[in-house]
């Protein structure tokens, strides 16, 4: 039996949906993992009540900014909305532009830096280590 079918048959209702206006989640801050430059962070999933099984964030890396190289213990996706950048994973680097995504794997050392004259705007998604925390 599929998990969805089991949930439907159990009579347990799913939580109500949550609609979030990114403007309510915005703050200016140094990017994580090295505080290289400045960024606009949209901590969208922080507005979702627990439990939640993954994080969904938007970040605009200002000119010259970067999320420093750091190890990850989960798969992670960087999806580029606008601008250009270079993503790093275990010593390999690839250029990114609007409409491209980097799927980064558990155990890799990853980071991303803004290039060009416009901010690099990303969606970043990854699972929570322990859902609901």
Tell me whether residue 104 is in a domain. Answer: yes
Domain of 117: which CATH number? 2.60.120.10
Q: State how many domains the chain has.
A: 1
Enter the pTM of the model.
Answer: 0.85
Tell me whether residue 9 is in a domain. Answer: no
**Strand-pair partners of 47:** none
Neighbours of 79 (CB within 10 A): 17
pLDDT for position 122? 98
Task: Tell me which of 7 and 36 has the higher pLDDT.
Answer: 36
Tell me whether residue 88 is in a domain. Answer: yes
29-78 pLDDT, tens per residue?
999 999 999 999 999 999 898 888 889 999 999 999 999 999 999 999 99
Tell me whether residue 34 is in a domain. Answer: yes
Q: Is 78 exposed, middle or buried (0-12, 13-18, 19+ CB in 10 A)?
A: buried
The residue range of the domain holding 40 is 22-127
Residue 42 DSSP label: E
pLDDT for position 129? 76
- Count the helix, strand and coil residues of the chain and give each as a percent rounded to the nearest 5: 10, 45, 40
Q: How far apart are CA 36 and CA 30, in angstroms?
A: 7
Tell me whether residue 80 is in a domain. Answer: yes
pLDDT for position 132? 46
Q: How many residues does the chain have?
A: 133
75-116 pLDDT, tens per residue?
999 999 999 999 999 999 999 999 999 999 999 999 999 999
């Amino acid at each position: 039996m599929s998990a969805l079918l089991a949930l439907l048959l159990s009579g347990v209702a799913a939580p109500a949906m949550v609609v979030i206006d990114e403007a309510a989640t915005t703050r200016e801050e140094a990017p994580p993992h090295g505080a290289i430059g400045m960024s606009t962070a949209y901590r969208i999933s922080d507005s979702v009540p627990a439990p939640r099984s993954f994080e969904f964030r938007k970040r605009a890396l200002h000119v010259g900014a970067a999320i420093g190289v750091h190890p990850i213990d989960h798969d992670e996706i960087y999806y580029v909305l606008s601008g250009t950048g270079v993503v790093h994973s275990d010593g390999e680097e690839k250029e990114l532009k609007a409409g491209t995504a980097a799927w980064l794997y558990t155990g890799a050392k990853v980071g991303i830096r803004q290039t060009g004259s416009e901010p690099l705007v990303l969606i970043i998604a990854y699972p929570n280590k322990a859902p609901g925390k």
